[in-house]
Structure 1
Amino acid sequence: MTSHTHTSPRHANHGNHAIHATSVADDGIRYRDLNGNGIMDPFENPDLSPHERAADLVARLSLEEKAGLMFHTVIETGPDGTLLETPGNISKSPTSTVILGKFMNHFNIHALGTAREAARWSNTLQALAEQTPHGIPVTISTDPRHAFIENSGVSFTAAHFSQWPEPIGLAAAGSADLIRRFAEIARTEYTAVGIRAALHPTVDLATEPRWCRQAGTFGQDSELSSKYVVEYLQGFQGDELGPDSVACTTKHFPGGGPQRDGEDAHFPYGREQVYPGGRFDEHLAPFRAAIAEKTSAIMPYYGMPIGVELDGEPVEEVGFGYNKQIITNLLRDKLGYDGVVLSDWELVNDNIVGDQVLPARAWGVEELTAPERMLKILNAGVDQFGGEECTELLLGLVRDGLVSEERLDESARRLLLVKFQLGLFDNPFVDEDAAAEIVGNAEFRREGHRAQARSVTVLANGTHDGGTALPLAGSPAVYVEGMDPLSFDGFGTVVQDPEQADVAVIRLHSPWDHRDDLFLEQHFHAGSLDFPPGLVSRLRTLAAKVPLIIDVRLDRPAILTPLAGFAAALVGTFGVSDTALLDALFGSVEPQGSLPFDIPRSMDAVRASRSDVPGDTADPLFRFGHGLRLPHLPQAGTATATQSGLSS
């Protein structure tokens, strides 16, 4: 259909937000003339289905445009919401190079400024994308960014967004409704600044106590994880992807929890994934639920399966992203998944940042060249290369006759379909004023704070004289370690001498072995779960002077056995601010948390356990589901242990 009326220039800025160019066809349909030919082509027609539009556009794309679709890498913002046109700390190329030169249009954003700056950057990025031959809009993705863990390989602290517990804290709170509400609020904040894809949820099962990524999961239980992923996807995606949705990538298929010795597959020493208990199918359960709930994408993990059989056939011992038996035979054919498969980051090339390196996670195929690795990933059934921008390698494989253009069409169609379903081709722009009002607004922050307090898990609450230490009452004199003293304003008076205190409140991190050889290694808390003996001795001495309330931030299930011997009360948290913790300790908000995993009694028990079996450590100190309710508060939920808090 020929268009006779253009209602705006190719792109214009009106006020504080970008307005996309629109045209009017002969029959009155408004559309964006993305290829500038004056005709409403089928892919530009908003009245056609996403499937019809995607099929039409794939047939129009050049080989270079198809290749660009199949890469998804990190991008950084410039100052004040501008585009970054010099390589940054994480991004490898100027923004205009990857969009106009390599025709890429899927980007994972790391650090963001204010909501207004984030929205401005998103709009500027989309305006740049309009200059490509078919104006394919950008899909901006993010790792989780509403909680407390700052790790560019995993998640980001909330900053300007509302702050909530880590995913495992949402699971500890034990409310499917709360998880749905979190996802709805996160979706609202994401879409306000132009983020339309989530590189989450993580539905790996936390079955290996030493594994460093448990905080991003829903815990050790497959049934609960399956239940919670449905609520999560409903909150972000809805029943179907649409203009208000955020498309989710469920990860890490087929379940990244059972790492040998708990070491993570980001690193060469953690490449092996093992199933000594034969529980491979149990780890698949949350993915089955996510597929039924129409997750937009699935990400395989880095790990390589050791000693696994499927349908009586040994599974090739190569990383899951290279594994045709896992991606095509299991995920595509057996489980019936036809959405996007996005590889985890940097399977093809090493990542060199400053003077550190993170080797390509080419586990089991280390000897292959970069083009050979890419070919194996494609043959496995992956649609998109995460963390890479080496489009020239893919183009070379096609031109050398090793990959057909029809193979690129298959993946390009899946990737474009999501963009059409999200409405990005019709309007990828956002309103800066609205973003500033929505993101991190007072109501969202209140809900996040309350969720944090609710997720606090009381493990033990008994003094030596048979009384209870919690809830705290009045305005006590408090000795504090590991907390901001200013957070006690309105709760009590902070004193420097523990012998002058009525109570001591101590916050600890779960132990880990500090490592910093490979890039990102320092951010992954791995190794022993034992507290150092000097710390334990000092706290025992302190407990002789003043009752101790000890909170441990349980990003992993620390060995709490020595602390339980002298703490007046022992609490576990999973992403909780100081003030939210105090609201729980004083009973202003009832702590309702229950453990999302067992707390082992000793490291010997951990080492003897099977990595793929939930709750497999012998005689745990506190069992999965344990959580006490405070006296003199309305009852909520069911306490699952004795008042002492110790399992019998």
Structure 2
Amino acid sequence: MKSGFKKGLSLLMVLVMILSLSVGCSDKNSNDDTQSTSESTTGSIETTEETNDGAIVMKEPIPVEEWGSGTVKWSEEDTDFGFTLVNNDGGETIGYSKESGLKLIQVDGFAFKDLNANNMLDQYEDWRESDEARAMNLASILPVENIAGLMLYSAHVFAIGETLDEAQLAFLDAGGRSVLNAASAAAPETGALWNNAMQVYAEKTPFGIPVNTSSDPRDVGISAWPSNLALAATFDPQVAKDSAMTISQEYRLIGIGTLLGPQIDLASEARWVRIQGTFGEDPALSRDMTASYVDGIQSSYDASGNDLGWGKDSMNAMIKHWPGDGAAEGGRESHALVGNSAVYPGGQFETSLIPFVDGGLKLEGKTGEASSIMSSYSIAYDEDEAYGELIGSAYSEYKIKDLLRGQYGYEGVICTDWGVINDPEEFIHTSWGAEDMTKAERVYRVLTVGVDQFGGHNSNVEILEAYDIGVADIGEEAMRARFEESAVRLLKNIFNVNLFDNAYIDVDETKEVVGSDALNAKGFDAALKSVVMLKNKDNTIKAATEGEKPTVYIPMLYRPAAASDFGAPTPAKWFLPVDLEVASEYFNVVTDTVNATLTGEADADGNATIAYADIKRASAKELAGCDFSLAVVDGPMNAGSMFAGYGFDPATQSYVPMTLQYGKYTADSEFVRKESISGSMIEEKQDSVYGTQTVEVKENRSYFGKDAIITNATDLDAIEYAAANMPESAKTIVAIRAQRPVIVSEFENDVDAIIVGFGIKDKALLEVAAGKYEPSGLLPVQFPKDMETVEQQFEDVPRDMVSYTDSEGNIYDFAFGLNWAGVIDDARTAKYGVAPLVTPTNTGK
């Protein structure tokens, strides 16, 4: 490590120590300037003591009263799920397990948990204190080993069950308290029981720090709400807030206290595979959806909908991926080395900050800002290092220390994305630009720039090694101060959502609420509002009339066998793209059949697999009785996977284009880069007058002249068959399940209507196609004219493509959509259908 860097870091650590002694806070809600009181023996309630300058005063432990003596202001009740609730009169309800051996103590007539078993009321155990004071107190007394454990965020391997396995126990014993619940298929009550089992075990450990379980956004096991991109298609931030409030309610009843989301990367590159997880490509719309969503996730609300700030119904939001991962060169994804860089040919790096600094960090609600931020994987690539050193975001002084911690003064938790400190030979490894460091050196570098937590890491060994590196580099006192700084942030997020006071779940409530009919109905209504109608020639789709169900042809789709990053390969299949039972609620369905004799390659058991030729399409006689056809297709899907990479052909070891069309695409237009902007430094043999030499050169990731590889190109066959073989009087509707923009020029002129859903249940598309619901959604992304305009646009500039114009003269631009009367023109289009923002209004502190 360079000596200049060490000297700068030493000065930084001294500053950290000074700041850590003067952190100001008001009460439990950071935006509330009032001071609530906690009950003393005279009945007043007194919270954290503050000095005149707002600094929190650390207090000595308080002697306890004899249990049950004096005026008792608590009462106990045992539950059916192995834990006990203690109700404090006018105060906090706390939960604990008698199995854990934890003892209760009494002060001023109230009950508290003696989490560290010292028979005193420590400040962190006192629910009358502010979250900030409690976190600071606990951080100050935790051993370094425990703080190192807090910095862990478990990998995906944690299985869900009613008991804990050895790996989970080892993680908890190492001090780990941030657990990823990746088993979205587990029944909600199983997740609740698993949570309770973890909390009992955590309660037995020194200091009694509860587990803060998290989840990525999920669409099974809870009520069916739309994806982020579908929420954006409603152009209604209130719908996003309603979604988040419901998600928070359900997740908490599974035992989940942190959402690894929302994903708020600006989708400025049309080919990027993660667009469905975003709020689209427009900075203003993404900003507003982000702010409303995070408010809905983080705040607790009363029955009248009033914002109460942090509370027992709150979740921490971890907005991601700072400073935005959407400017991916050529659309390649930064999970893989081949896509490890974001590029800024339009010079609009700051545009990607808008959803973060004007949205997630400027909430209208009482929690003020997102409590956590996940850094992106990607390198912000510029050969002159205009955006800092060419290194992944978690390691970047410019992105984290200078911008997020410095300019924007962010004091919440910053967590790396998963696998950032792993070695290149490991399965998930994303240490872009830091591959030559040891794991401990990577940890130390990440800590020095201001990151607090390591996603996907189960062992505290490297973190403790990094601590030793820091002690040798800047001294024990400064390194301890740096650890405490992260500990306060991490602990505060556990206090925010009341886990220290009651981390247990009433499983009966879980069964009653999670995935309930009432909540599913709300989610379905939001999905309906998100459906976008692009084409409706001659009112093909109109209000349904009473009478018999129409007879509709829905063609089957084919998928070839595919490898998987996790688990066994997916076999080839022909399938009906919608659930037949659901579709039959709306239509009499006619479809295709698969031949009894299969002709595909033999599987491991010697049995023939399904081939594309094994389909028997519906005959002219079967189609003759149809009122219309409905081709339900997925948007074009490029070959590859997150960790193997997109836009790279492993068979030829060459870069290939990513495309938004089904048909063959060869990247040979004048707009295709012959030399990529980004590229890793690679060794190359070169001949010269001095002989053959090995030199380091920048890799050229150009895909000029190469063909794209689409795995579902045959979806276009389904559309074409439906359009060409229906009776003359029958119409053809195409329903696209899109994850990003789609080039529709290959089929638009041959069909009568097009509707689009962005990550919603098929039932909503069927409802609109059947005329049961008038569509109101608007495009949250442009649908481009062709691949030339896609190649011509800049990855970092939103809404800079030429949009497609259909046979009816409609332009599929951002904020376009039809209802039964025609082009939608309302308050939403007036607000957002203007020139896109370029720079944030929040300039920082």
Q: Equivalences for 1:277-316 in 2 at 5 Å?
A: 277-288=346-357, 289-293=359-363, 294-307=369-382, 315-316=388-389
Cα distance in 1 between the residues matched to 2:657 and 2:67: 61
> Which residue is equivalent to 2:684?
none
Cα distance in 2 between the residues matched to 1:447 and 1:322: 42
Partner SS for 2:484 = helix
> Which residue is equivalent to 1:154?
none
Question: Which range moved further: 477-486 or 426-435?
Answer: 477-486
1:234 to 292, 295, 314: 295
2:196 paired with 1:134: no
Cα distance in 2 between the residues matched to 1:127 and 1:225: 40
- Of structures 1 and 2, the larger Rg is shown by 2
Provide TM-score, normalisation by structure 2. 0.68
> Which residue is equivalent to 2:13?
none
**Structure 2 CA distance for partners of 1:256 and 1:222, relative to 1, 3 Å:** same
Q: Aligned-pair distance for 1:314?
A: 5.1
2:180 paired with 1:105: no
**Structure 2 CA distance for partners of 1:500 and 1:587, relative to 1, 3 Å:** closer
> Which residue is equivalent to 1:574?
758
Q: Aligned-pair distance for 1:211?
A: 0.3
1:510 to 624, 635, 647: 635
Which amino acid in 1 is paired with 2:164?
L
Cα distance in 1 between the residues matched to 2:541 and 2:139: 65
Q: Aligned-pair distance for 1:420?
A: 1.6
Question: C-alpha offsets along residues 462-515 of structure 1, whole Å, 9 cap, x if unaligned?
Answer: 0xxx45344555521111132223223232211243333111111111112222
Q: How many residues align?
A: 605
Question: C-alpha offsets along residues 30-85 of structure 1, whole Å, 9 cap, x if unaligned?
Answer: 11111112211111111111122112111211111011011112366656522233
2:815 to 616, 625, 628: 625
Which amino acid in 2 is paired with 1:346?
G
2:589 paired with 1:527: no
1:328 to 401, 406, 411: 401
Q: Aligned-pair distance for 1:24?
A: 3.4
Cα distance in 1 between the residues matched to 2:105 and 2:757: 56
> Which residue is equivalent to 2:323?
254
Question: C-alpha offsets along residues 427-452 of structure 1, whole Å, 9 cap, x if unaligned?
Answer: 11111111111101111011111211
CA contact (8 A) 2:160 2:191 kept: no
2:719 paired with 1:539: yes
Q: Equivalences for 1:468-479 in 2 at 5 Å?
A: 468-471=540-543, 474=547, 475-479=549-553
Question: C-alpha offsets along residues 130-151 of structure 1, whole Å, 9 cap, x if unaligned?
Answer: 1211010111111101xxxxxx
Partner SS for 2:750 = coil
Cα distance in 2 between the residues matched to 1:364 and 1:75: 24
Q: Equivalences for 1:322-361 in 2 at 5 Å?
A: 322-350=395-423, 358-361=427-430
**Structure 2 CA distance for partners of 1:141 and 1:303, relative to 1, 3 Å:** same
2:564 paired with 1:483: no
CA contact (8 A) 1:137 1:424 kept: yes
2:268 paired with 1:207: yes
Q: Equivalences for 1:107-256 in 2 at 5 Å?
A: 107-112=179-184, 113-145=186-218, 158-238=219-299, 240-256=309-325
Partner SS for 2:631 = strand
> Which residue is equivalent to 2:500?
425
Q: Equivalences for 1:346-495 in 2 at 5 Å?
A: 346-350=419-423, 358-400=427-469, 401=471, 402=473, 404-462=479-537, 466-471=538-543, 474=547, 475-481=549-555, 482-495=577-590
Cα distance in 2 between the residues matched to 1:556 and 1:261: 14
Cα distance in 1 between the residues matched to 2:197 and 2:453: 24
> Which residue is equivalent to 1:45?
126
2:108 paired with 1:27: yes
2:77 paired with 1:18: no
**Structure 2 CA distance for partners of 1:61 and 1:531, relative to 1, 3 Å:** same
**Structure 2 CA distance for partners of 1:180 and 1:366, relative to 1, 3 Å:** same
CA contact (8 A) 2:404 2:410 kept: yes
> Which residue is equivalent to 1:646?
none
Which amino acid in 1 is paired with 2:295?
Q
Cα distance in 1 between the residues matched to 2:212 and 2:657: 33
**Structure 2 CA distance for partners of 1:380 and 1:455, relative to 1, 3 Å:** same
> Which residue is equivalent to 1:91?
none
Cα distance in 2 between the residues matched to 1:69 and 1:520: 31
Quote the sequence identity (%): 31
Cα distance in 2 between the residues matched to 1:479 and 1:596: 30
Which amino acid in 1 is paired with 2:83?
A
> Which residue is equivalent to 1:148?
none
> Which residue is equivalent to 1:155?
none
CA contact (8 A) 1:210 1:526 kept: no
Q: Aligned-pair distance for 1:638?
A: 7.2
2:758 paired with 1:560: no
Partner SS for 1:544 = helix
Cα distance in 2 between the residues matched to 1:25 and 1:70: 32
Which amino acid in 2 is paired with 1:395?
L
Which amino acid in 2 is paired with 1:2?
V
2:783 to 588, 599, 620: 599
2:149 paired with 1:71: no
**Structure 2 CA distance for partners of 1:80 and 1:348, relative to 1, 3 Å:** closer
**Structure 2 CA distance for partners of 1:520 and 1:551, relative to 1, 3 Å:** same
Provide TM-score, normalisation by structure 1. 0.88
CA contact (8 A) 1:301 1:321 kept: yes
CA contact (8 A) 2:541 2:771 kept: no
CA RMSD of aligned residues (A): 2.7
Which amino acid in 2 is paired with 1:290?
G
Partner SS for 2:346 = coil
**Structure 2 CA distance for partners of 1:168 and 1:52, relative to 1, 3 Å:** same
Question: Which range moved further: 65-74 or 300-309?
Answer: 300-309
Cα distance in 2 between the residues matched to 1:504 and 1:34: 65
Q: Aligned-pair distance for 1:632?
A: 10
CA contact (8 A) 1:71 1:386 kept: yes
CA contact (8 A) 1:204 1:256 kept: yes
Which amino acid in 1 is paired with 2:110?
I
Which amino acid in 2 is paired with 1:507?
V
Which amino acid in 2 is paired with 1:551?
A
> Which residue is equivalent to 1:615?
799
Question: C-alpha offsets along residues 559-585 of structure 1, whole Å, 9 cap, x if unaligned?
Answer: 111121111101111122232212222
Q: Aligned-pair distance for 1:296?
A: 0.3
Cα distance in 2 between the residues matched to 1:125 and 1:602: 53
Q: Aligned-pair distance for 1:519?
A: 5.8
CA contact (8 A) 1:507 1:553 kept: yes
**Structure 2 CA distance for partners of 1:276 and 1:521, relative to 1, 3 Å:** closer
> Which residue is equivalent to 1:643?
none
**Structure 2 CA distance for partners of 1:495 and 1:75, relative to 1, 3 Å:** closer
Cα distance in 1 between the residues matched to 2:149 and 2:533: 50
Question: Which range moved further: 292-301 or 234-243?
Answer: 234-243
Partner SS for 2:430 = coil
1:589 to 773, 789, 793: 773
CA contact (8 A) 2:634 2:737 kept: yes
Cα distance in 1 between the residues matched to 2:446 and 2:230: 35
Cα distance in 1 between the residues matched to 2:641 and 2:220: 25
Partner SS for 1:37 = coil
Question: Which range moved further: 541-550 or 526-535?
Answer: 526-535
